[in-house]
Structure 1
Amino acid sequence: MILTQDHRLVSLQAENEDLRLRLSRAESELGAARRESREHDRDRKPIRRAMRGSEDVYRMIVESAVDYAIIATDLDGTITTWNEAAEEILGWSELQIVGRPIETIFTPGDVQNGIHLKEMRLSLTDGQARDQRWHMKANGSRFFASSEMMPLYDDDDEAVGYIKILRDRTREILAEKELKTSRERLQLALDASAIVGTFDWDVESDIIWADIRFASVFGLPPETAEIGASLEAFVEGIHPDDRERVTEKIRSACETGEPFIEEYRTIDADGRLRWIFCRGRCFLDENKKPVRFPGAIVDITAEKERTLRQAGLLRLGDDLLKEMEPNEYAMNALRILGETLDVSRVGYASVSRDGRTATIVNEWTADDVEALRGDFDLEKFGEEFRFALGGGLVTINDMATDTRTAAHAERFAEISVRSLVNITVIERGELKMIFYVHDDRPRPWSSDDIAFIREILSRAWTYTRRRRAELALVETETRLRLAHEAAEIGTFDYDIVNGKLIWDARCRAMFGIFGGENVTYDDTFVNGVHPEDRERVTAAVDATLDPNKAADYDIVYRTVGLEDGVVRHVQAKGQTLIENGKTVRFVGAVRDITEEKLAEERQSLLTRELQHRVKNTLAMVTAIANQTIRRATNTEDGLEAFTGRIAALSKAHDILVETSWTSAPIAEVVERTLVIHHPGRAERLVWSGPQIMLTARQALALSLALHELATNATKYGALSNEDGKVEIRWTLKSRRPDGQGMSFEWRESGGPPVKEPERRGFGSRLIKQSLAAEFGGELELHYRPDGLVCAMDATLGD
């Protein structure tokens, strides 16, 4: 067996002590006789020789120990021996330290408290004094050591000094402290962010270790998280409708090693439905066999509930447009409220004039829940509860524990009510109506729950009490937008005392940092915030760090990537730790919401563009109406002309809508504009030419011009008889400095003889002005005897 140096020291000390005991026994047994004395001398000599040999070996070990500082002192604590390890660990040479007091290596605080003196006393009384504490080095720095002090004895067993053995454990202590701090930082970050819990599945042994929060979400007791449980136990906590899908996804992740990313529902320890976002990954061994599957879950219940609430409001708004009967609308509102909140019963009751009796008017119930009918004596539910109804709002999380209902909890249990929300209508000081939401489970009602209940009931009440006159107001109420996904979350930890800022990789990415360099509050965080947001953000941080204000840190701001220069939108939430009235730490989470912000900007741009298009179209319609009506010979002709021109404009709009108002094919513009003039004249109204894309304004101008030409041909030209014909042709010409050239020609033949009109009407002006203006070319109308020719030499632009 090979002994370490500290074990060898202990062994030699034991051997030395044994020799001393043997010598003592020998001396007590020898008599005063010479023979006995000679025998006594013969017995003592080998023992003393053994002791001297043991002490020589002991000294050799002391001098050769490299990991242990071994220091000897006299009874006054003056250092007499100092090995090389002591010189290496503490920094003083033997020449520098021998003769100085042992208190030199103790910290000033320990010297003031007399720790070195206590160690010497304790070593004399107990044989040894063990300790772990900080000590001083020659350069003034400190190190942490475990030490043991023992007394030194002479040949007469008299204490002559002390020996102190130290081992430097600074690295171990700092590593332990750093590990503890890291764990604490991670826990604080998890608490501040939306992460609910973490898990680690040993696939081979089928044991999942998780934290308490993770187990609770799946309806398992806390001890299960500590001792571990099988995958099946956790799968049982998944909502039945999601269980098969999630199980299949887990199996697939174990086979492929691909990331597991899923949203699904669970039933927590309180029986409540929860939505979670889970992300993990299965690690495979060299044989592609699943070994370990760690991950984390994020509670997105609040976001899902907001989504469901908005969907409920949207459904209610849609019902408003269906012009339902008031009672049908009210029933629908109750059903939406009950299904969205996942409660057992929703309804409303009228209250008698004396305030003693409530009569059920309308109600929705979940499956297998008995409906309430008829009259109910409110006094049976307790005077305190009845009095509370006069306040307008009553919320009770558990009937059995709330002081207002505990005495009559059995009455509520008879109608399957364990928690409730009551909103009452008070008119002229009298209770008139009770809106109620019941659940057969204990339930903490949040402010969002109350707001949603109020919103639904307010809409239903408005419809039934104020009829359709006020439905428009309900229709225009603000609709909540669907909550964004579970975005990936970054964490930050700001040690205020030491000025140390720690960001994880996601947080760094949101500030455009992709390396591992250190980050600081001023140089990294403040400089990374967009200049226009910097003052607002720093003010919010200062308010959060102020222990007297204790402001919430929930802010949205922009960042400018320090390495990539990319502008990002970030939502940040955090909390502070306060000790002795001072803020010592600031931790939290950040989320990239750039896509949401960009979507808002795109929507605003689209709205402005739509407004611009509508205004332009209305201006065009107004101009056509003014010119048509003013130049019409009679009302009928004016109305007919106006209707035709609007129809042509509408056809062009249809094409532009299909192409998002960017461009329109010329062939489709021609075909759709002339379709109303086309029936029975397919062989007489023909067109041809290459595929050319027109701008929105060009498409509108050409559509109006073609309509005027076709209308004129139908009334007076080639299409007014049975033999006439119209040919439309367009061709591309050579490219010009300002764009691509094009020619367009409308040619009539076979119709009545044509004469140039003495007066040009609005149609002719519309053709020449609109085409010339939008195509940037020249247009000519030739009134030839054999038929009208409209020729345009245009530039399409780029």
Structure 2
Amino acid sequence: MAPQGLGILAGGGELGALMRQRDWAATPLGDPSTWPQSLRSALSTCLNSRAVSAIYWGPEFYLLYNEAYRPFLGSRHPWALGRTMQEVWPTLWQSLTTAARQVHETGEGVVAEDQRLLMERDGGLDETFWTYSFAPIRDETGKVAGIFLTALSTTERNLAERRQAFRLSLDERLRDLAAPAPILAEMSRSLGLHLGVGEVAYADVEPDGAFATITQAWTDDGAPRSAALVQNGCHRLDDYGPALVAELRRGRIVAIPDVRQDPRTCAAETLAALDRISVAALLNVPLMKAGQMVAILAVHHATPRAWTRGEIALVGEVVARSWDAVERVRAEAALRVSEERLQLALGASGMVGLFDWHIPEDLLYPDERFARVFGVDAARAANGVPHAEFVQAMHPDDRLRVQAAIGRAVETGEPYDVEYRVLQPDGGSRWLHVRGRCLRNAAGEPMRFPGTAVDIHARKLAEERQALLSREVDHRAKNALAVVQAALRLTRAPDLPSYVKAITGRVAALARAQTMLANEAWAGADLRTMLAAEMDAFMIRGPEGAPRATLDGPAVALPAGAAQPLAIVAHELATNAMKHGALSTAAGRVTVRWTRDDEPLGTLRLRWAETGGPPILSEPARRGFGSRVLAGVVHGQLGGSLLLTWHETGLVCDISLPLARIAGIPASDLAM
């Protein structure tokens, strides 16, 4: 039976049942029969909400919460029920108390978007992001007695975007580096700047496992620290804590937020060694090969610093990726040396395809492999084959160039060194690199022309692929820049902060469309996927648990040239709805429906309809910046039609786009 005063708390799942069974009289909140009606009503709403919801009651901010809130407490549940905010979230207390007190003092709600909060739970620290609102709960006298929290976790999206941006940036910087030292230097610099730490140092562990030599170090002020304190940057590992080093030798990542408080580093001699290199917090990642520690990546900070689980995982990943890059360039260097030695050996031994042209008889004597490349039977090759037959087997585009090189070699005696293609029976061709020299008799007359041939077909194909890739990358980069230029030209704002916020949102929309196009090899983008990506930040569920936005329409493959401009359109409409339209209120909804003609690239008709927002009494007297952007993109770039209708129930936007026409125009032209 529910305690007196909690009979109204129906539902709420397991948490509701737990609250009804709890002995509240033994808590600071007291017997439920003494609770004000405002608290009981708010608690009933909280328990039956599907959104992450909680109540902070009284000036002490006693916590009550629902099922959706419970997972974020970890092992603190059910202990947290009825505890103060400061007890439950000691690391968040300073971040949240200002906003909470503001609600109590002013009686006005507070809304935060994508706020970064460090949450300590289950023995670790997590970096989280939240969009939340604090709404006042008034008692029977009208005084603010508590706070109603509604929250949406945006952690996964924020961390994923940030990690992906960092990975892409680091991969881009490492891609063109061809030696281990620059790779490790760039890895240290990028990681240090991303984490905002004082030092990142890479050290090779000596074979005896007792010493490590720093080979690369980055510091936030450019002043050498760890590497400069000892000769040649060599450190005795156990000086920095035998227990710490023992964990590293077992392949474990060690993260210490405060070396003075950790038993592995708090010994006086260890602290003295760490003080010499200005280390108050550290994050060390060992690199293991065949069970042995061969290197250490050390992240240092001069003041105590909490390390989140996400940061620890990222550092470990970066070390692995950087080492893979180091291994790659080392393997490539070894391969180059091996290939050079092989070519020298083959050239010296004459085992790469040989020929001997007897000039007076005009007969060429090839070895078996050289003859096979030119389609000459081995039996005929032994008796000599007319030189003209080999010339005729060359690719027509190369023939005159090769004959000119042969003529110069015979006439002047200069070395013969030429690359050309040989026609093959399957209709293709094969690249050869041929070298030779004309030999003369005592009278100076040309007599013989021996030489060697190397098959370079694979290299030539690789060069062609590389050239094609370079042209494609250049083309895509120009297209992307052109689209960004268009966004810059279309954006207007009354001041610099507004301009920065507007253009940042639009460029982010372009980036998301760019990613979708890249994933589809630039063949196009799915309309629903694109719209869902742009609406993701606005897909907040309403009080009844229904989605705030609905997407309805058939599968439509957008041409590559339409994806980024249309992403800008969706971004502008969603942003306007959040600021002024349906998504600015709890009851507001957005419905996006579209149809397409029967043809695969027919006319796309899309309707954006808002309901439940602030009533619209009349059409706006003047068009805002967003309206001009919509018109510029739909009319100017995509050649479509746009109709904005302001109903009392909300904005309706009708868009018609000629997909067939757009598909025939390069993306760069559409962007201009």
Normalised by the size of structure 2, how large is the TM-score? 0.43
